Amino acid sequence: MTLPDETRLFMCHDYPGEKREHQYETTVAAQKKHNIHVHEGVTEEEFVAMREARDSTLEMPRLILPSIQLNIRAGEMPPAEDNGTVYFKIPVNKL
C-alpha cells in the first residue's frame, strides 16, 4: 500500500463473490478503497486479528496441494513421465 496509487497490480487469484466478475488486474488506489481485508486505515494488528479469526473457520482449499506444487515451480509444469503424461504428485499418507 506504500506504492503509488496508480501502480498496476496483477492478481494470481480473485474471489469475486456474487456482485462482480473475476479480475486479474487492479491498482493500489482501488485496493485502498475496495479491499475488504487491506485498505486505508487498517492497521497490521487489525489485519492479523481479522485473518486469524476468519482463517480459523475455513477448510483447506480443495486445490491447495496442486497449486503449491505449481507455485514452487514458478508456474512451470512438472516434466512429463515416460508415458508422456504430466502429473502432480501428492503424498496420501503425509497429510
pLDDT in tens, 37-78: 888 888 999 999 999 999 999 888 888 888 888 888 888 999
91 contacts: CB under 8 Å, gap ≥ 6: none
- Alpha-carbon span 79 to 77, nearest angstrom: 6
- Return the DSSP state at 71: H
pLDDT in tens, 15-29: 777 887 888 899 999
Q: Grid coordinates in use for 48? A: 492479523
- Alpha-carbon span 70 to 64, nearest angstrom: 10
* Higher local confidence (pLDDT), 93 or 72: 72
* Higher local confidence (pLDDT), 59 or 95: 59
Burial (0-12, 13-18, 19+ Cβ within 10 Å), 70: middle
User: Average pLDDT, whole number, for the chain?
Assistant: 87
Per domain, the residue ranges of the chain are: 8-58, 60-95
Q: Which pTM value belongs to this model?
A: 0.54
